Structure 1
């Protein structure tokens, strides 16, 4: 598929966890996605009624949504859906960015924040599923060392997360920062 090149856009919004009161804005974001972006996000066709019920189900299931918010609009989102049936603490992830902001690095910023949130919840694995033509999602997943395979017409990936450090264990970066702030 041909990739559209977008002029650089200055990102002036914030990336934050969406509150329950933000769910209508999240729904409006998903409804604004063009047909290709909807197909990339939902791995197939998704009409307006599907999206409305999807947001309701996600909210009821306690899905974590990290959004890129400008003013009162959600323009990008990263979702974390728990998979409680897995043997390890696992969540499935999904991303959506409105067309005019795609290929600006926003997906990577949302991905970083989502991984930080996932680690905070104690997840050790993240799953991603996309159609084989979604090159942007495959590249993003590879950037975070996803093991990608082609299964049943879809690209399926697993990202293994480093566990959180036990309380009282100081990481090397924390030790270095402490030495900088409090030299001997």
Structure 2
């Protein structure tokens, strides 16, 4: 199911062909949002490298789109060997769309995807001054611990069920259809004539 928000926004899975949308979204983050997302100041070049490496079987990104433009994202990464049933999630929402329920919907989607991949423990990390992220984690009953200027939230996830798997499959079908529609809309959008014409 897709949640509809302000200005016709919706949440859906990003597909590999949309890597540029994730990069552009991260580059648009204001300094405070960028610091909150990455735990400190990062350069544009670092963001480009990070976005370029944000695909693969252990990474699932969901996005909040408004008029076909990615304005928020949830980056879910399965943790490597030794952490078989654990994953980490990170969130970013551009300033004008913060405090509208976007983060909650993105986290809910992450929990579903993580559940269906057998993830029992989902980690979210944030800076100690990031009250918004801490409130979001508490809303989903995360156990918070404070450590050297950061806060780590841990959320227990139930085992997958046929219903949870079906819910993700249906959501993915809607996501793919929405991605195709967005692409077609951009391809068919009339181009503005150049001033010389």
TM-score scaled by structure 1? 0.81
CA RMSD of aligned residues (A): 1.7
Number of aligned pairs? 159
Give the secondary structure class of the aligned counterpart of 2:61: strand
Give the secondary structure class of the aligned counterpart of 1:45: coil
Contact 1:146 1:158 in 2 (8 A): yes
Report runs of 4+ in structure 1 exceeding 4 Å deviation: none
Contact 2:8 2:67 in 1 (8 A): no
Among 83, 86, 92, the residue aligned to 2:79? 83
* More helix, by proportion: 2
Is 2:68 aligned against 1:105?
no
Among 9, 12, 18, the residue aligned to 1:16? 12
Segments of structure 1 that go 5 or more residues without pairing to the other structure are 1-8, 168-184
Query: Partner residue of 2:148?
Result: 152
Q: Cα 1:10–1:165, aligned 2, differ >3 Å: closer, same or farther?
A: closer
Segments of structure 2 that go 5 or more residues without pairing to the other structure are 164-197
TM-score scaled by structure 2? 0.76
Is 2:24 aligned against 1:33?
no
In 1, the alpha carbon distance for the partners of 2:57 and 2:50 equals 10
Contact 2:116 2:159 in 1 (8 A): no
Q: Deviations over 1:29-77 (max 9, x none)?
A: 0000000000010011111001000011222574210001123311000
